[in-house]
């Protein structure tokens, strides 16, 4: 089994967390306990899913965890779109954040496909 720190999706997701926390500091105070909190919760839930999936030996259970991760990424995309529409982030932040999520989403689907082959 690959060590967690050597797992590319883990590295990318940690980078997403760093990027997200930096951007979320710029949100207005009125959103700190609403949208910001929701984004943080979904993001942290995603890293937990990666860790759980990496530790899981049963492919059926791993698929369930990876599907939860994929759902979290889709929810995160919605929150980021809302942030952009409400002008909490600019187009540059929106594009960069979306690319990071899309990259992780592609890796997740690759992992799901490899589990389905087993």
In a domain, 71, yes or no: yes
pLDDT digits (tens, 9 = 90+) for 55-79: 999 999 999 999 999 999 999 999 9
In a domain, 25, yes or no: no
Q: Where are the alpha helices (DSSP H) in the chain?
A: 8-24, 35-55, 59-85, 91-117
In a domain, 42, yes or no: yes
Domain count for the chain, please give it: 1
DSSP code of residue 19? H
Q: Are 56 and 62 in contact (CB under 8 A)?
A: yes
Distance between CA 75 and CA 79 in Å, rounded?
Answer: 6
* Angle at CA of residue 72, ends 67 and 77, nearest 5°: 125
In a domain, 26, yes or no: no
In a domain, 105, yes or no: yes
Which CATH number belongs to the domain containing residue 86 in this structure?
1.20.1440.60
In a domain, 27, yes or no: no
Structural domain range at position 68 = 4-20+33-117
Distances, alpha carbon 116 to alpha carbons 63, 64, 70, 74, 111, in Å: 8, 11, 15, 21, 9
In a domain, 57, yes or no: yes
In a domain, 28, yes or no: no
Full-model pTM: 0.92
pLDDT digits (tens, 9 = 90+) for 25-60: 999 999 988 999 999 999 999 999 999 999 999 999
């Amino acid at each position: 089994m690959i060590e967690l720190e050597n797992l590319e999706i883990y590295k990318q997701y940690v980078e997403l967390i760093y990027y997200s926390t930096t951007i979320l500091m710029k949100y207005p105070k009125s959103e700190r306990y609403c949208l910001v909190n929701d984004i943080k919760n979904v993001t942290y839930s995603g890293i937990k899913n990666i860790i759980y999936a990496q530790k899981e030996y049963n492919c059926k259970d791993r698929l369930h965890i990876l599907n939860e991760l994929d759902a979290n990424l889709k929810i995160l995309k919605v929150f980021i779109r809302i942030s952009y529409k409400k002008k909490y982030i600019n187009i540059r932040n929106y594009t960069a954040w979306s690319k990071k999520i899309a990259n992780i989403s592609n890796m997740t689907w690759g992992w799901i496909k490899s589990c389905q082959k087993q």
